[in-house]
């Protein structure tokens, strides 16, 4: 999962009648390589064209996020930081992609190529874990700050391709790659325009 870019946002409030605002920009959530499982079933209109429903589970850990922030008090900037990286502990993003795919393949060949395109939704949970705030240098100790868990259900376009080797007319093993393109995520105020997930799977196909 490539890094996830989050739209700029502003949080505002007041304290003792003095307006306070926090603006965050260039926010990127970093992810490590994760794992996934995919399963589906379909109906063949003919030997080359099929419609399938597919679901899966994707999980990636999040080591950190980075961005720039500006804190204003009474309309005056009192703190500005750019390119700051915030390490996280126990953070992750999990997804359940669900799509309806149109698939083209050729089961008459020993090596069976396939391509597919699908549309669906992808319920997603973004858990930002905890941030360790170390104030020991000023004698105030170390604090674990819970960053919260957020959910979204973006629209998804799925593109996939692959090839398998047929051991029998109804059984083949192979490899498939896919790209899930996600748009319209709103994680409780953290919004993204478009981001993607890229995966490669060993694949088992059984035909009846």
Is the pLDDT assigned to residue 43 strictly greater than 80? yes
Q: Is CATH 2.40.160.20 the classification given to domain 33-63+86-206?
A: yes
Task: Count other Cβ atoms within 10 Å, centred on residue 132.
Answer: 12
Q: What percent helix, strand, coil does the chain show, rounded to 5?
A: 0, 75, 25
SS3 label, residue 136: helix
The whole-angstrom separation of Cα 114 and Cα 12 is 51
Q: Model-level pTM?
A: 0.84
Kind plus residue range of the DSSP H or E element containing 39: strand 35-44
pLDDT in tens, 100-153: 999 999 888 899 999 999 999 999 999 988 877 666 665 666 667 787 888 999
Domain range summary for the chain, segments of one domain joined by +: 33-63+86-206
More confident call, 187 vs 198: 198
More confident call, 183 vs 69: 183
Is the pLDDT assigned to residue 154 strictly greater than 80? yes
Highest mean pLDDT among 9-13, 27-31, 35-39: 35-39
The whole-angstrom separation of Cα 130 and Cα 110 is 51
Highest mean pLDDT among 70-74, 92-96, 169-173: 92-96
pLDDT in tens, 46-92: 989 999 999 999 999 999 988 887 878 777 777 777 878 888 889 99
Q: Which of 110, 120, 106 is nearest to 49 (CA)?
A: 106
Alpha carbons within 13 A on the beta-carbon side of 191: 7
């Amino acid at each position: 999962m490539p890094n996830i870019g989050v739209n700029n946002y502003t949080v505002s409030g007041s304290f003792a009648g003095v307006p306070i605002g926090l603006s965050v920009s260039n926010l990127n959530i970093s992810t490590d390589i994760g794992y996934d499982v995919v399963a589906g079933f379909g109906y063949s209109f003919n030997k080359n064209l099929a419609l399938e429903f597919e679901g899966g589970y994707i999980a990636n850990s999040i080591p950190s996020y980075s961005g720039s922030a500006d804190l204003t008090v009474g309309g005056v900037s009192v703190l500005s930081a750019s390119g700051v990286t915030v390490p996280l502990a126990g953070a992750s993003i999990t997804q359940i992609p669900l799509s309806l795919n149109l698939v083209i393949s050729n089961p008459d060949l020993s090596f069976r190529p396939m391509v597919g395109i699908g549309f669906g939704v992808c319920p997603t949970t973004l858990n930002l874990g905890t941030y360790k705030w170390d104030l020991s240098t000023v004698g105030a100790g170390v604090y674990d700050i819970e960053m919260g868990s957020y959910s979204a259900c973006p629209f998804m376009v799925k593109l996939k391709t692959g090839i398998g080797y047929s051991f029998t007319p109804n059984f083949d093993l192979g490899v498939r790659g896919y790209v899930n393109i996600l748009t319209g995520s709103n994680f409780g105020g953290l919004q993204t325009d478009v981001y993607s997930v890229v995966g490669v799977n060993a694949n088992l196909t059984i035909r009846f």
